[in-house]
Structure 1
């Protein structure tokens, strides 16, 4: 499919395609071919395939730089979270719409001044007849301007620890009181947003899991977010150009040495992706393994770009757009999904309990 669409000029491969390349029709075509919701039960529109099988498909889509941002968040983590923790009513309402490419999700997690401290949530939800009223402010909300739904983490009670009293919700983005404001990035592109919630009514049926049990659930969910191939392949188009250049510069031993190291690291990262997918197939939530993959994968993505920067190739007009595109996207690699310090603390806990 990707070859067909590229040949027809439907899309141009690019770095960071899973975050920046939004094409709802492409996602719906993938859904029609059974390539979204692959691991979901058939009764909800899925294919009952394994996470390892899904990994093979997502790797190929990322390698092709395909425009998959419309379905990526919903397919990757919201569907699995609803299947694990949602009521039957919520599963029947939400999961088939993700599987068909109809529902587009954004993540209402990050907040101003909170950095990577996800537990410092100020957005609040108070109980009212039939549901909850939400007030708060989220930031860096990818594709919120296209989204039909938001996953939202809000505080429903105050506890002794800041991790207590958090609850997950599914919110309609067209609900009264939801306002989306664009954030334009260094590349002049609009995929980030600020989202404000002002007395937004959320029905009780849209609570995901247990009221007040959101922290444990969101940590589990982050293993789906951090543990995929996108954590190592965001700058893959740059690596492709470097490999092509190496064939034209057969006597450049330094370039070949750098590429050899990068290819070896990529092989290790692919193995880590496989191990995370296999753990998910066993019903586990591999929080620490996913954190390790994201930490190492982000470093790899940046080093691929740096390898091109150290050569004269980035000054060649043929490489300029590929290099510039990846370079402008790279500051976010180590932030989204958790900063390095957060990931290292998760990995350290695993070592402490080993």
Structure 2
């Protein structure tokens, strides 16, 4: 039996579903006044005030232990909160990575001192992390990273470069995959993860402006950055295993279905009006919903595995690949629908939102692992290679 055969329909427990009410009330107060084309930037929307308010209400770090400032709840509670945040188009970009994967990674592999230093401020929405994986000459070949940290009498000396690092210019720390021994040809051997304070001397962060005019991607340079002896996260040399565990968190949640959801909801609201309703648009709405519904069910099933302490890397790759396909299809199909109509019929806010999502949609199949890499993982999970 392949790993994919173990995905079964899973229901969100009633206690966790009950979170939707207070979360929606919070979002109505803090998000709904924003226009749709702004809410569509949810992933990249940096708003530290929003993150702190979410932290005050206990909506961040829900799965983390209470001893470290978390909610002590299961993965379903966080799933409900994330689903609502993304559905409303909340500006989650500031706390997003720290709360989703950095803090859980530190909880799993960190020392007690690292846990107590880094996790509580993440739960309060006050500390932000970015991911240091991709490099200019490695692309999706993560095992080919060249950035290295070498031991010295003060700890570790870090040199190299990372790229496509989301919101690095707003973050306090990076968890970087680096070589602590060997060379890039050694592949998985000699890789470790280090926690880097981005305010240290020798760190340079340069935002990259994308097609939409936003600058949430960055390139980060390390020039003789001196790290403390305790900068290594987990055991030295176990970086590859740890990164694979981290990517399961990144690829399995509702964020792999909802990158275009604000646009979809804005278009659906238009289609429900007498002016916007056509036989073709109703058929398209049914087509898209029939794809989103089973993908959501798969995502919830993955969440069940995470709740049981499993690490479903192959299943997460499948959901991410399929979800990305639907996310990228939504702006294309909606554009086809709108541009078959009279030129002045569609609301301007809908068109602005469509314009933004169309521009950023190509990146959906890059972040979290490119399509080719994911399909290789899926093939191995199915026993095809």
Give TM class, smaller chain.
over 0.9
Over aligned residues, Cα RMSD in angstroms?
Answer: 1.9
Q: Deviations over 1:44-67 (max 9, x none)?
A: 000111111110110000000001
SS in structure 2 of the partner of residue 311 of structure 1 = helix
2:285 paired with 1:254: no
2:33 paired with 1:2: no
**Displacement of 1:16:** 4.0
Q: Deviations over 1:309-333 (max 9, x none)?
A: 1112695334221100111111100
Which residue number corresponds to residue 173 of structure 1?
198
**Displacement of 1:11:** 9.3
The correspondence for 1:88, drawn from 92, 112, 123, is 112
CA distance in 2, matches of 1:189, 1:105: 19
Change (3 A) 1:129 1:2: same
**Displacement of 1:196:** 0.2
The correspondence for 1:56, drawn from 80, 84, 87, is 80
CA distance in 1, matches of 2:120, 2:31: 28
Which residue number corresponds to residue 378 of structure 2?
347
CA distance in 1, matches of 2:92, 2:337: 31
**Displacement of 1:353:** 8.6
CA distance in 2, matches of 1:12, 1:48: 35
SS in structure 1 of the partner of residue 216 of structure 2 = strand
Provide the TM-score with structure 1 as the length reference.
0.95
2:367 paired with 1:336: yes
Provide the TM-score with structure 2 as the length reference.
0.88
CA distance in 2, matches of 1:122, 1:179: 17
**Displacement of 1:236:** 0.4
CA distance in 2, matches of 1:187, 1:76: 25
2:338 paired with 1:312: yes
Q: Deviations over 1:263-305 (max 9, x none)?
A: 1111111111111111111111110111111101100101111
C-alpha contact 1:104 1:146 (8 A) present in aligned 2? yes
Gaps of 5+ in 2: 1-25
Gaps of 5+ in 1: none
C-alpha contact 1:155 1:166 (8 A) present in aligned 2? yes
The correspondence for 1:301, drawn from 304, 327, 330, is 327
Which residue number corresponds to residue 29 of structure 1?
53
Match runs of 1:6-25 below 5 Å: 6=31, 13-18=38-43, 20-25=44-49
**Displacement of 1:15:** 2.0
2:230 paired with 1:205: yes
Which residue number corresponds to residue 278 of structure 1?
304
**Displacement of 1:242:** 2.4
Change (3 A) 1:9 1:257: closer
**Displacement of 1:13:** 4.8
C-alpha contact 2:36 2:350 (8 A) present in aligned 1? no
**Number of aligned pairs?**
353
C-alpha contact 1:24 1:101 (8 A) present in aligned 2? yes
Match runs of 1:174-193 below 5 Å: 174-193=199-218
C-alpha contact 1:27 1:68 (8 A) present in aligned 2? yes
Change (3 A) 1:38 1:151: same
CA distance in 1, matches of 2:283, 2:36: 33
The correspondence for 1:222, drawn from 247, 250, 253, is 247
**Displacement of 1:101:** 1.3
